[in-house]
Amino acid sequence: MSVAAAPTAAQLPSLRRRVASMLYESLLLLGVLSVSFMLPHLALGMGFDIVLPGWVLLGHVFIVLGAYFLWYWIHGGQTLAMQTWNIRLTTPSGAQPSPARLALRYVLAWPSLLYFGTGVLWAFFDRDRQFLHDRLAGTRLVFKRQQGSSASINPP
């Protein structure tokens, strides 16, 4: 069994492309959270007069978003926004990451984003322009070339 070669700098998506994908992902997550989070808690509050404590609500968000990201990453290495921006999640060698590695990436992304985007700003100083949570989890975002495309590999 052969392992794909490590991506070259030309195969790594630009920081601008990755941030645009994150912004688009946040819009998609509004829909995911409105269906899987807001509707059930609205029904509990209005129908049964139950308001859950804050830590339960945060845990619910963590689990819902974890299920979303892990499902897409395990089944193809791309979320919907990553598919739109032609970005794929791999290991540094180009292989599909294991579910445990993907779960680690998800958990590490929370502090990376919540501490004022420090993990995203890390990409400005990283030698491969990778986010901090990708570096720590042993994952990498690569540009996924379209089948039969002769266009530039890393457009804006």
Question: pLDDT confidence of 37, banded at 50, 70, 90?
Answer: confident
Residue for token pair 């997550």:
29
pLDDT, tens only, 47-80 = 989 888 989 999 999 999 999 999 999 999 999 9
Average pLDDT of every residue of the chain: 89
d(Cα 93, Cα 135) in Å, to the nearest integer? 13
pTM given for the model: 0.85
Length of the chain: 156
Closest CA to 135 of 152, 119, 148, 111: 119
| pLDDT over 90 percentage in the chain | 72
SS3 assignment for 47-108: HHCCCCCHHHHHHHHHHHHHHHHHHHHHCCCCCHHHHHCCEEEECCCCCCCCHHHHHHHHHH
The answer to whether the beta carbons of residues 132 and 42 sit under 8 Å apart is: no
- Give CA torsion, residues 85, 117, 101, 146, to 10 deg: 10
| Range of lowest pLDDT (48-52, 88-92, 102-106) | 48-52
More confidently predicted of 80 and 7: 80
Amino acid at 6: A
Per-residue DSSP letter, 34: I
Please give the Cα distance from 141 to 128 (Å, whole number): 10
pLDDT of amino acid 2: 45
Q: What is the pLDDT of residues 110-145, one digit of tens each?
A: 999 999 999 999 999 999 899 999 999 999 999 987
pLDDT exceeds 90 at position 21? yes
**DSSP SS3 for 38:** helix
